Amino acid sequence: MNELANSFAFNNAWLIPALPFFSFLVVGLFIRPVSDKLAGIVATLSVATAAFLSIWLAFDYFSAFPAGAEHPGLISWSFEWLRYEEHLAVNVGVLVDSLSILLMVVVTFVSSLVHLYSIGYMKGEDGYGRYFTYLNLFTFSMLGLVVAPNILQTYVFWELVGVSSFLLIGFYYTKPSAVSASKKAFIVTRFADLFFLIGVLLIAVVGYNAMSMFGAPGSLPDNVSAFDFSYLTSSGVSIMMNNLGLLTPAMILIFIGAAGKSALFPLHIWLPDAMEGPTPVSALIHAATMVVAGVYLVARLFMPFAASGTALLVAGYVGAFTCLFAAVIACTQDDIKRVLAYSTLSQIGYMIFALGVASATETLGYTASLFHLFTHAFFKALLFLGAGAVIHAVHTNNIWNMGGLAKKMPITNITFLIATLAISGVWPFAGFFSKDEIIASAFGTHHYVIFAVGLLVAGITAFYMFRIYIVTFLGKARSEAVNKAHEAPMTMTIPLIILAALSAVAGFVHFGDFVSVGAESGHAEGGFPIWIPALLSGLSGIAIAWFIYAGNSERSKALTERLGAIYRVIYAKFYIDEIYLFVTHKIIFRFISAPIAWFDKRIVDGGVDLTGWMTRRGGAVFSRLQTGQAQTYTTWMVNGVIAVAVLIWIFVS
Amino acid sequence: MSFSPELHHWLILSTILFSIGIYGVLTRRNAVGVLMSVELLLNSAAMNFLIFNHYASKPFIDGAIMALFIIAVAAAEAVIAMALFVAIFRSRKTVDVTQINTLKG
Amino acid sequence: MNALAPEIIVAVTGFVVLLADLFLAEKRKHILGPLALVGLVVGGVAVFNLMPQTVEALGGRFVFNPVAGWFKLLFILAGAFTAIFCWQSRAKEKLESDGEFYSVMLFTLVGMMFLISATDLITLYISLELATIPLFALAAWKKGDPLSGEAGLKYVIFGALASGLLLYGLGLLYGLAGSADLQTIRETITASPALWLAAGIITAGIGFKITMVPFHMWAADVYQGAPTTVTAYLSVASKSAGIAFMFQMFFGIFGAQLSEWGWLIAGLATVTMTLGNLVAIVQNNIKRFMAFSAISQAGYIILGFLGPFSESVPSMLYYLFIYVFTNMAVFGVIIYYNDTTGKENIDDYKGLSRTNPVIALVMMLGLFSLAGIPPLSGFVGKFFLFNIAAKAGYHWLVAVAALNSTISLYYYLRIVRQMYMEPPTADAKSLSMSKALAFTFLILTIGVTLFGVIPGIYETINAQTSGWLSALQLFP
What's B60's domain CATH number?
A: 1.10.287.3510
List A residues 78-97 in contact with C (Cβ-Cβ < 8 A).
79-83
Please enumerate in sequence order all residues whose Cβ is within 8 A of that of B78, keeping only pairs 6 or more positions apart, or say none.
B35, B39
* Three-point CA angle C340, C344, C347, nearest 5°: 115
Q: What is the DSSP letter of A487?
A: P
List B residues 66-105 in contact with A (Cβ-Cβ < 8 A).
97-98, 100-105
Q: Where are the alpha helices (DSSP H) in A331-429?
A: 336-357, 364-394, 405-408, 410-424
Give tens-digit pLDDT for C307-337: 887 888 899 999 999 999 999 999 999 999 9
On whether residue B59 sits in a domain, the answer given is yes
Asked if A150 contacts A88 with a C-beta cutoff of 8 angstroms, the reply is no
- The SS3 assignment for A75 reads strand
Asked if C114 contacts C128 with a C-beta cutoff of 8 angstroms, the reply is no
List A residues 596-625 in contact with B (Cβ-Cβ < 8 A).
623-624
Give tens-digit pLDDT for A517-539: 654 444 444 456 777 777 777 78
Residue by residue, DSSP assigns C128-144 as: HHHTTHHHHHHHT-STT
Tally C-beta pairs within 8 A across B and C: 141
- The SS3 assignment for C63 reads strand
What mean pLDDT is reported for chain B?
89
C14 CA to centre of own chain: 20
* Contact between chains at C145 and B100 (C-beta distance less than 8 A): no
pLDDT of residue A519: 46
Give tens-digit pLDDT for A582-640: 776 666 666 777 777 777 777 777 777 777 788 788 888 888 888 888 888 888 888 88
Mean of pLDDT values over A5-33: 83
In Å, how far is B58's CA from the nearest CA of chain C?
9
A629 touches chain B (CB under 8 A): yes
* Contact between chains at C279 and A626 (C-beta distance less than 8 A): yes
C179 touches chain B (CB under 8 A): yes
- The SS3 assignment for C342 reads coil
pLDDT of residue C12: 95
CB atoms within 10 A of CB A582: 12
In Å, how far is C458's CA from the nearest CA of chain A?
10
Three-state SS letters, A231-273? HHCCHHHHHHHHHHCCHHHHHHHHHHHHHHHHCCCCCCCHHHH
* Contact between chains at B25 and A624 (C-beta distance less than 8 A): no
Q: Which residue in C160, C240, C236 sits closest to C205, CA to CA?
A: C160
List C residues 127-186 in contact with A (Cβ-Cβ < 8 A).
153-154, 157-158, 161-162, 165
What mean pLDDT is reported for chain A?
81
Q: What is the DSSP letter of A79?
A: E
Measure the CA–CA gap between A385 and A380, rounded to whole angstroms. 8
A653 touches chain B (CB under 8 A): no
- Nearest CB among A618, A640, A651 relative to C214 is that of A640
Measure the CA–CA gap between A468 and A549, rounded to whole angstroms. 9
* Contact between chains at A631 and B22 (C-beta distance less than 8 A): no
* Contact between chains at C149 and B84 (C-beta distance less than 8 A): yes
User: Is the per-residue pLDDT at C94 higher than 60?
Assistant: no
pLDDT band at C6 (very low <50, low <70, confident <90, very high): very high
Asked if C201 contacts C168 with a C-beta cutoff of 8 angstroms, the reply is yes
More confident residue, A566 or A64: A64
- Nearest CB among B51, B81, B102 relative to C146 is that of B102
Domain span including residue B54: 7-92
H or E, element range at A118: helix A98-121
Locate the chain C residue with the closest alpha carbon to A90: C455
- Nearest CB among C153, C191, C280 relative to A630 is that of C153
Which ipTM was obtained for this model? 0.94
When scoring C107, C119, C122 by the number of chain B Cβ atoms within 10 A, the one with the most, hence best to mutate, is: C122
Residue length of chain C: 476
Give tens-digit pLDDT for C378-395: 988 898 899 888 888 888
On whether residue B48 sits in a domain, the answer given is yes
Rounded percentage of chain C residues whose pLDDT exceeds 90: 48
Locate the chain B residue with the closest alpha carbon to C180: B62
pLDDT of residue C476: 43
pLDDT band at A555 (very low <50, low <70, confident <90, very high): low
Measure the CA–CA gap between A315 and A259, rounded to whole angstroms. 9
Give tens-digit pLDDT for A144-170: 999 988 888 888 888 888 888 888 888
- Kindly report each contact of residues B67-73 with a partner whose C-beta sits within 8 Å and lies 24 or more positions away, as own/partner: B69/C122, B69/C125, B69/C126, B70/B42, B70/B43, B70/B45, B70/B46, B70/C125, B70/C167, B71/B46, B73/B42, B73/C125, B73/C126, B73/C129, B73/C133, B73/C163
- Nearest CB among B26, B101, B102 relative to A634 is that of B26
Please enumerate in sequence order all residues whose Cβ is within 8 A of that of C417, keeping only pairs 6 or more positions apart, or say none.
none
Measure the CA–CA gap between C286 and C348, rounded to whole angstroms. 9
User: Is the per-residue pLDDT at B21 higher than 80?
Assistant: yes
On whether residue B25 sits in a domain, the answer given is yes
Question: Which of chain C's residues have a Cβ under 8 Å away from the Cβ of A629?
Answer: none
What mean pLDDT is reported for chain C?
88
pLDDT of residue A588: 66
pLDDT of residue A589: 66
Positive or negative, the Cα torsion across C376, C380, C385, C389?
positive
On whether residue B1 sits in a domain, the answer given is no
On whether residue B98 sits in a domain, the answer given is no
Measure the CA–CA gap between A82 and A73, rounded to whole angstroms. 23
Locate the chain A residue with the closest alpha carbon to B104: A628
Mean of pLDDT values over A342-346: 88
Furthest C-alpha separation in chain A = 104
- Nearest CB among A624, A627, A635 relative to B26 is that of A635
Q: Which residue in A573, A420, A581 sits closest to A503, CA to CA?
A: A420
Asked if A190 contacts A162 with a C-beta cutoff of 8 angstroms, the reply is yes
List A residues 56-95 in contact with B (Cβ-Cβ < 8 A).
none
When scoring A633, A634, A636, A642 by the number of chain B Cβ atoms within 10 A, the one with the most, hence best to mutate, is: A634
On whether residue B100 sits in a domain, the answer given is no
Q: Please state the φ and ψ torsions of residue C29, each to the nearest 5 degrees.
A: -70, -10
- b/e C179-204 (16+ beta carbons within 10 angstroms → b): bbbbeebbeebeeeeebbbbbbbbbb
User: Is the per-residue pLDDT at A33 higher than 80?
Assistant: no
Q: How buried is C381 (Cβ within 10 angstroms: 0-12 exposed, 13-18 middle, 19+ buried)?
A: buried
Q: Which residue in C415, C278, C420 sits closest to C345, CA to CA?
A: C415
* Contact between chains at C217 and A636 (C-beta distance less than 8 A): yes
* Angle at which helices A293-300 and A247-262 cross, to 10°: 160
Mean of pLDDT values over C332-350: 88
pLDDT band at B6 (very low <50, low <70, confident <90, very high): confident
Query: What is the Rg, in whole angstroms, of the alpha carbon atoms belonging to chain C?
Result: 21
A6 touches chain B (CB under 8 A): no
* Contact between chains at A637 and C191 (C-beta distance less than 8 A): no
Three-state SS letters, C416-442? HHHHHCCCCCCCCCCCCCCHHHHHHHH
In Å, how far is C431's CA from the nearest CA of chain A?
27
- The SS3 assignment for A209 reads helix
Q: Where are the alpha helices (DSSP H) in C282-394?
A: 286-301, 309-341, 352-355, 357-371, 377-391
Residue by residue, DSSP assigns C146-207 as: HHHHHHHHHHHHHHHHHHHHHHHHHHHHHHHHS--BHHHHHHH----HHHHHHHHHHHHHHH
pLDDT of residue A166: 84
Q: How buried is C23 (Cβ within 10 angstroms: 0-12 exposed, 13-18 middle, 19+ buried)?
A: exposed
On whether residue B56 sits in a domain, the answer given is yes
Mean of pLDDT values over C134-147: 88
When scoring B30, B94, B101 by the number of chain A Cβ atoms within 10 A, the one with the most, hence best to mutate, is: B101
Please enumerate in sequence order all residues whose Cβ is within 8 A of that of C337, keeping only pairs 6 or more positions apart, or say none.
C343, C344, C348, C349, C352, C359, C431
What is the pTM (predicted TM-score) of this model? 0.66
Mean of pLDDT values over C135-152: 89
pLDDT of residue A366: 85
Asked if A403 contacts A481 with a C-beta cutoff of 8 angstroms, the reply is no
Measure the CA–CA gap between A207 and A150, rounded to whole angstroms. 13
Chains that touch A (3 or more CB pairs under 8 A): B, C
A534 CA to centre of own chain: 27
- Nearest CB among A626, A634, A635 relative to B104 is that of A626
More confident residue, C107 or A237: C107
Phi-psi region of A575 (alpha: psi -120 to 50; beta: other; left: phi over 0): left
* Contact between chains at B26 and A627 (C-beta distance less than 8 A): no
In Å, how far is C415's CA from the nearest CA of chain A?
16
Question: Which of chain C's residues have a Cβ under 8 Å away from the Cβ of B65?
Answer: 122
Count of domains for chain B: 1
Measure the CA–CA gap between C68 and C74, rounded to whole angstroms. 10
pLDDT band at C191 (very low <50, low <70, confident <90, very high): confident
- The SS3 assignment for C351 reads coil
On whether residue B76 sits in a domain, the answer given is yes
* For chain B, counts of helices (H) and of strands (E): 3, 0
